[in-house]
């Protein structure tokens, strides 16, 4: 059964503090809405930021969404294109930071934000997010950040010029982060009520497109074919699956977590590791598990090395990954290897 929390997800005092910060914004300043950079923003982060952007716009307040990392996951691309989300990057922030008077983090904490800036407000559902002194920390134990944003905007009486679009975005955010409300150990009554109320307002065709029918390229199926080319008995060992997609380009990097998500749905599989070699320069790995006994951040550090350039716990519980740079000698070895030799090297990497 979903976990029951306090009667209110957002307290009256928290609403008051949020409104105080928004109302104290100088009229000539904008709001920076910041999402996570590693991994790049997912539907939950994008929906949270977009909902805030439109709520602020209806109050006459201009804002920009700041994102980090290359976005290549098909669902994330569909969100951006279909909802017409405009994203700014760190370089834009560096050139224009003086234009902003309020910084709101959406679905991220300070050490994984798209830009290096101190937040004024944090909306996050990752309970390991550090508390920042002098900041309004709205970190809640729910299944999706979109749930927090929905309940807060509902409580302050936010009205949208495009309610169906925002309802669709937030519903997709909740649906994606909770795996269609199936993650019973993480889904709360607040997630259920938000999802139920939002579904009555969504553009159903758009909702289905963004959750189930977003386009994938033929390149994805080439990666999937490569991942499944090894003997099935070698891929699936007990409750674990280990797969390699071979060589991929930077633009294909989000195929790796997409394959990991798919394989975790396999009968009796509880832990998935998928790796690929990106542009002959580094190993990209994605890890997925539904086992509460596995601390995903510790697992990634132990498997890929605490000194890896990037070890992340992912945007959702049970998800993580790593980026492991090749040493100079490893890069030379890989670049000079023949295709069949590369397959052997990849298999070695998979088993280390």
Both structure tokens of 216: 């994938």
Which pLDDT score, from 0 to 100, does residue 1 have?
31
- What are residue 241's DSSP bridge partners? 236, 272
pTM listed for this prediction: 0.81
Domains annotated on the chain, with CATH: 12-211 (3.90.1640.10), 219-351 (3.10.310)
Q: What is the pLDDT of residues 219-257, one digit of tens each?
A: 889 999 999 987 788 889 899 999 999 889 888 888 999
Q: What is the pLDDT of residues 186-228, one digit of tens each?
A: 899 999 999 999 999 999 999 999 999 999 888 889 999 999 9
Mode of pairing for the β-strands spanning 136-139 and 100-106: unpaired
Of 244, 240, 304, 298, nearest in space to 274 by CA: 244
Contact 177, 315 (CB under 8 A): yes
Residue 65 CA to residue 67 CA, distance in Å, equals: 7
Of 307, 291, 288, nearest in space to 242 by CA: 288
Helix and strand tally (H, E) in the chain?
14, 12
pLDDT by residue, tens only, the chain of 352 residues: 344 445 799 999 999 999 999 999 999 999 999 999 878 899 999 999 999 999 999 999 999 999 987 888 899 999 999 999 999 999 999 999 999 999 999 999 888 899 999 999 999 998 877 888 999 999 999 999 999 999 999 999 988 888 999 999 999 999 999 989 987 888 999 999 999 999 999 999 999 999 999 998 888 899 999 999 877 888 898 999 999 998 898 888 889 999 999 999 899 999 999 999 898 888 899 999 988 788 888 888 888 875 555 666 555 668 888 888 877 777 677 677 666 555 555 555 554 4
Q: How many residues belong to the chain?
A: 352
- Cα torsion angle, 166, 170, 172, 173, sign: positive
Of 274, 312, 300, 309, nearest in space to 38 by CA: 312
Both structure tokens of 47: 């929906």
Mode of pairing for the β-strands spanning 87-88 and 63-66: parallel
Mode of pairing for the β-strands spanning 87-88 and 136-139: unpaired
Judge residue 21's burial from the number of C-beta atoms within 10 Å of its C-beta, 0-12 exposed, 13-18 middle, 19 or more buried: middle
Which pLDDT score, from 0 to 100, does residue 28 have?
97
Residue 291 gets which letter from DSSP? -
């Amino acid at each position: 059964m979903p976990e029951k929390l306090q009667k209110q997800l957002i307290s009256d005092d928290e609403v008051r503090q949020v409104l105080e910060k928004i109302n104290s914004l100088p009229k000539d300043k904008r709001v920076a809405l910041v999402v996570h950079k590693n991994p790049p923003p997912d539907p939950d982060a994008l929906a949270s930021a977009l909902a805030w952007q439109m709520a602020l716009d209806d109050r006459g307040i201009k804002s920009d969404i700041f994102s980090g990392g290359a976005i290549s996951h098909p669902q994330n691309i569909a969100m951006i294109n279909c909802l017409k989300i405009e994203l700014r990057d760190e370089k834009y922030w560096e050139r224009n930071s003086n234009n902003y008077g309020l910084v709101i983090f959406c679905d991220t904490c300070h050490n994984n934000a798209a830009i290096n800036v101190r937040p004024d407000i944090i909306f996050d559902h990752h309970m390991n997010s550090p508390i920042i002194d002098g900041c309004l920390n709205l970190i809640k134990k729910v299944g999706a950040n979109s749930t927090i944003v929905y309940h807060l905007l509902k409580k302050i009486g936010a009205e949208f010029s495009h309610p169906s679009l925002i309802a669709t975005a937030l519903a997709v955010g909740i649906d994606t982060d909770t795996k269609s409300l199936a993650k019973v150990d993480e889904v709360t009554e607040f997630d259920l009520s938000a999802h139920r109320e939002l579904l009555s307002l969504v553009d159903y065709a758009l909702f289905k497109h963004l959750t189930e029918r977003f386009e994938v390229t033929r390149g994805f199926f080439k990666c999937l074919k490569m991942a499944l080319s090894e003997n099935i008995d070698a891929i699936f060992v007990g409750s674990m699956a280990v797969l390699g997609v071979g060589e991929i380009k930077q633009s294909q990097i989000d195929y790796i977590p997409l394959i990991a998500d798919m394989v975790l749905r396999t009968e009796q599989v509880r832990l998935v590791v998928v790796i690929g070699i990106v542009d002959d320069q580094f190993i990209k790995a994605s890890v997925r598990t539904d086992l509460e006994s596995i601390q995903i951040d510790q697992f990634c550090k132990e498997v890929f090395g605490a000194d890896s350039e990037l070890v992340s716990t992912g945007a959702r519980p049970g998800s993580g990954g790593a980026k492991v740079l090749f040493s100079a000698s490893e890069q030379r070895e890989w670049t000079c290897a023949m295709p069949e030799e590369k397959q052997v090297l990849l298999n070695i990497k998979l088993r280390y």
